[in-house]
Structure 1
Amino acid sequence: MNRSSAETGHPALDSSEIITGREPLIAWLEAGCKPRQAWRIGTEHEKFPFLTDTLAPVPYEGPHSIRALLEGLRERYGWQPIMEGEALIGLKDEKGGSSITLEPGGQFELSGAALENLHQTCEEVHDHLAQVRAVGDRLGIGFLGIGFSPLWSLDETPVMPKGRYRIMRAYMARTGRLGRDMMFRSATVQVNLDFSSEADMVKKFRVSLALQPVATALFANSPFTEGRPNGYLSWRSAIWLDTDPDRTGMLPFVFEDGFGFERYVDYALDVPMYFVYRDGRYIDAAGQSFRDFLRGELPALPGELPTLKDWEDHLSTIFPEVRLKRFLEMRGADSGPWRTLCALPALWTGLLYDDTALDAAWDIVKGWTAEDRQKLRMNVPKQALKARVAGRSVREIAREVLAIARDSLKRRNHVGCKGQDESRFLDVLDEIVESGRTHAEELLALYEGRWNRDIRHVFRDFAY
């Protein structure tokens, strides 16, 4: 979600500025503060391309490939190329602000523009899926929205030609058992939202971090691995528990007195680096310290000092359940059916963009201890709506949270072309709560019933 200084109301910061201390890093985050009228909604979602004849993953090269898909979108719809050397690794809409990027295993991601309301967000999702389907149909490529690759092994999954992924892949083999599964076989939907001040950021961070497992439960949609049930409703969420403890988790310090931009900078400085980008290539700095970089003592680039762009790159390699950049990223949800791609931004916009809603949401979570929050995070991947925290079920909490969000969206009163306000995008989540069954549980019922334990049906029944 990128915006110019004219849109944010802040002077532009020079990304090439050399930095030697913490103050510019804190200022970089603080520059994200925006007046309420400049708040926007930026949605990102990933999906799995597959070959419609064989249901195999789509390779990068060849006549029916990721590259051919990107080229087709470029030629037909006027997207601009994003290159890494000779490799076409993405597309961008320089005027609109959106981009199409590749995750490590070929997961196709739309990074949406910064939009004013949820009707625009959902229209963007619809237009993107229409474009990829139009090009994909000619190439024999379909797209599946699910939180984890349901059929292919890690060895069968293609590797995209991006230098940063080569470095991350090697490093993750040393930090947890499941980091490569996260990279190559998981898919998510997330929303990026703004804040007006440090105090506003802190309150939104605390509410969204505490409630992130509730979102995980509502969007649980990854119950299969390599053709069979894996014992979880959100295996994608479970994977993050064994990926890299240095850069993931529920960040207990966010709830401590005195938390703000400075404390987050100190946390980020202690997260080991992955790389430094110089002259079109990624330099391996895996496991090295950004603090050393500030002193000109980075082993990968001895004597060289970082820029603000290096800091921005480093922040993008930190993966907590909620991530702070110059906006807040909600990172807890599995990818899923079309309706859920609109529901995720609706949920968090409703909770975080209205003071009454934010206060009400804080009232729900303010009594939870760090142990409560962590236990909930640990239990939700398997139990989803049946998990409990502070004597209440997640289903009960989700019902209350959705009512708060719905009232908030009604107060926003953004009416779409059919005369309906933004609260309609929550309908699919209300249905999940009322039934008590997540989408993952619906998939498992189909697997044991009509599908006769043949996972291939998920590609036929649930492709976009």
Structure 2
Amino acid sequence: MARDQIDMTPIESRDELVAWFEAGEKPEADFRIGTEHEKVPFRKGENTPVPYEGDRGIRALLEGMRELLGWEPIMENGHIIGLLDVTGGGAISLEPGGQFELSGAPLKTLHGTCRELHAHLAQVREVAEPLGIGFLSVGMSPKWTRAETPVMPKRRYEIMAGYMPKVGSMGLDMMFRTATVQVNLDFASEADMVQKLRTSVALQPIATALFANSPFTDGKPNGLLSMRSQIWLDTDADRTGMLPWAFEDGMGYEAYVDYALDVPMYFVKRGDHYHDVTGASFRDLLAGKLEQLPGERATLSDWANHLTTIFPEVRAKRYLEMRGADVGRTSKICSLSALWVGLLYDQASLDGAWDLVKDWTTEERETLRRDVPKLGLSARIRNRSVREVARDVLELSRAGLAARKNENGLGDDESIFISALDQVVEGGRTNAEDMLARWRGPWARSIDPIFFEEAY
């Protein structure tokens, strides 16, 4: 979620940036689960996008959520652009095209995460129904064009939108038309961070295939199963991708700091003003030599905000963010968190997952990443299909979840949340393929039924 930080503590050296990551380490007993998911809003009955302004717009939706929840508003230039739960740590924010995002509170169990999701969707429906607003559970807005997509009043997005066409052909589509689900997970040490990051980067294409859910663009099939994932391949090579250097000797906090320092900046925020510094170097800001802001020195908030503008398949902050999946139905949102918690929060499962991928070469990982948006579970690596690899991955995750021994009131442990993915693997077909079959059959080549069958 793009909620900008405010901490004007000055940073004077690269070592302080390394220490910033180190300060994120937690003992295993304090590990938490933070789930973020975006939803594409639409006008019910019209199947059209929802603008920010107006009696039935996004602003009205946010104001209604504020009244219902009592959360603090996040304001920018007189516009409400989000809500913050100052007690629990959750937040609601807007993505550039109005995608409505919940950044969940850091919770201890997947049972809590799934309860949070169901409560949020019920609350959103309570406010959205009278406004005639619905929400799609797909990874890309399927009908309207980019030109028809509304623009939210956030200055950071205005700066990004001006820069994106200079560095890739699909960046604006990424901003305005895609929707994802991700889970944020903790690490205990530098070595733990490295093992988790390497393992999860290698396995992101497996998650992309399992969650492939964006086969339509501009009202018709786009030839892919995950257009959202394909878009990231031509967004901005400086800040996206599979982090091949992370698999080299010497990987750690310092290597990630050096990577982040070399990613061009978007903006520097001072007070309520966003200074456009697109293409500039954070190294220059650190040294007080930024051409656009002479003499201005870097602060902790500058660093934290800069890290939110880097978009690899797994992103490191003071936790790790799994970024490879299209958003999906409610059960899929819960299962995305379950997949990664089972793999990364149990050492035996993490070791097993690393054993699966540790011999994959950079070229093999990159090829898999490029193939999966089109081929899904049929993509191959090392003479195995993604479907076969996914079956092994789910077995490891299920074992890891069972080992956590977190039961609900019925005595079920967290492995129950993997079942939605078992169905994908056993059936051998993604939700994208299911929707394409319906489009060719009962939908009679119309996109409009998606607004009933794939809405929350």
Aligned-pair identity in percent equals 62
Q: 2:162 aligns with which of 141, 152, 170?
A: 170
Inter-partner Cα distance in structure 1 for 2:141 and 2:369: 22
Deviations 1:399-433 (A, max 9, x none): 00001100111111111122211101000000000
Tell me which of 25, 34, 40 is aligned to 1:33. 25
1:68-79 matches, within 5 Å, as 68-79=60-71
Shift of 1:19: 1.4
Cα distance in 1, alignment partners of residues 243 and 68 from structure 2? 44
**Pairwise CA distance, 1:75:** 1.1
Q: SS of the counterpart of 1:380? A: helix
User: Partner of 2:166: helix, strand, or coil?
Assistant: coil
Deviations 1:354-393 (A, max 9, x none): 0100010011001100000000000000001000011111
- Matched position secondary structure for 1:63: coil
Secondary structure at the counterpart of residue 56 of structure 1:
coil
Whichever residue aligns with residue 336 of structure 2, its letter is L
In structure 2, C-alpha distance between the alignment counterparts of 1:129 and 1:49, rounded to whole Å: 13
Which of the residues 310, 315, 320 maps onto 2:312?
320
2:231 matched residue in structure 1:
239
Structure 2 match to 1:199:
191
Inter-partner Cα distance in structure 1 for 2:261 and 2:390: 35
Aligned residue in 1 for 2:356: 364
TM-score, length basis structure 1:
0.97
Counterpart of 1:350 in structure 2 is: 342
CA distance in 1 between partners of 2:257 and 2:249 (Å): 16
Select 2:425's aligned residue among 425, 433, 440. 433
Residue in structure 2 matched with residue 290 of structure 1 by the alignment: 282
Quote the residue 1:66 is aligned against: 58
Instruction: Give the counterpart of 2:454 among 430, 438, 462.
Output: 462
| 5+ long unaligned stretches in structure 2 | none
> Matched residues in 1 for 2:65 and 2:430: separation?
34
Counterpart for residue 127 of structure 1: 119
Structure 1 residue 76 displacement after superposition: 1.9
The question of 1:450 aligning with 2:442 is answered yes
Deviations 1:192-228 (A, max 9, x none): 0000000000000000000000000000000000110
Map 1:98-117 to 2 at 5 A.
98-117=90-109
1:20 positional shift = 2.2
Write the distance in 2 (CA, Å) between the matches of 1:367 and 1:240.
25
SS in 1 for 2:147: coil
> What is the Cα deviation at residue 460 of structure 1?
1.1
Q: What is the aligned counterpart of 2:264 among 260, 272, 276?
A: 272
Partner of 1:333: 325
Q: Residue 279 of structure 1: CA displacement? A: 1.1
The offset of 1:77, in angstroms, is 2.1
Aligned twin of 1:251: 243
The alpha-carbon deviation at position 14 of structure 1 amounts to 9.8
Partner residue, 1:161: 153
- Quick one: which amino acid aligns to residue 330 of structure 1? M
Report the AA paired with residue 438 of structure 2: L
- Secondary structure at 1:47 match in 2: strand
Does residue 381 of the first structure (1) align with residue 373 of the second (2)?
yes
Matched letter for residue 300 of structure 1 = Q
Question: Within 2, Cα distance between the matches of 1:15 and 1:102?
Answer: 22
Q: 1:301 aligns with which of 268, 293, 298?
A: 293
2:38 maps to which residue? 46
Relative to the length of structure 2, the TM-score reads: 0.98
Cα deviations by residue, 1:233-253 (Å, 9 ceiling, x for unpaired): 000000000000000000101
1:222 is aligned with what amino acid? S
Q: Distance in 2 between matches of 1:380 and 1:77?
A: 40
Tell me what 1:5 maps to: none
Would the alpha carbon gap of residues 204 and 129 (structure 1) be closer, same or farther in structure 2, given more than 3 Å must change? same
Please, which runs of 5 or more residues in structure 1 have no aligned partner? 3-12
Give me the whole-angstrom Cα distance separating, in 1, the residues matched to 2:377 and 2:388: 8
C-alpha RMSD over aligned residues: 1.2
SS in structure 1 opposite 2:48? Answer: coil
Report the Cα distance in structure 1 between the residues aligned to 2:100 and 2:68, rounded to whole angstroms. Answer: 18
Give 1:53 deviation, angstroms: 2.2
User: Distance in 2 between the 1:373 and 1:461 partners?
Assistant: 34
Query: Residue 228 in 1 paired to residue 195 in 2?
Result: no
Q: CA deviation at 1:17?
A: 1.7
Match of 2:410 among 415, 418, 429: 418
What amino acid is the match of 1:172? M
Q: Which amino acid aligns with 2:163?
A: Y
Alpha-carbon distance in structure 2 between the residues aligned to 1:243 and 1:76: 37
Alignment of 1:140-159 (within 5 A): 140-159=132-151
Instruction: Give the distance between the partners of 1:413 and 1:165, measured in 2 at CA.
Output: 42
Q: Which range moved further: 173-182 or 69-78?
A: 69-78
Instruction: Measure, in 2, the Cα distance between the counterparts of 1:419 and 1:354.
Output: 20
Alignment partner, residue 9 of structure 1: none
Work out which of the residue numbers 378, 390, 405 in structure 2 matches 1:398: 390
The number of aligned residues is 454
Whole-angstrom CA distance in 2 between matches of 1:116 and 1:149: 32
Q: Shift in Å at residue 21 of structure 1?
A: 1.6
Distance 1:410 1:305 in 2: 49
**In structure 1, what is the equivalent of residue 12 of structure 2?**
20
C-alpha distance 446-162 of structure 1, shift in aligned 2 (>3 A): same
1:91-132 deviation per Cα after TM superposition (whole angstroms, max 9, x unaligned) = 111111100000000000000000000000000000000011
Aligned amino acid, residue 203 of structure 1: Q
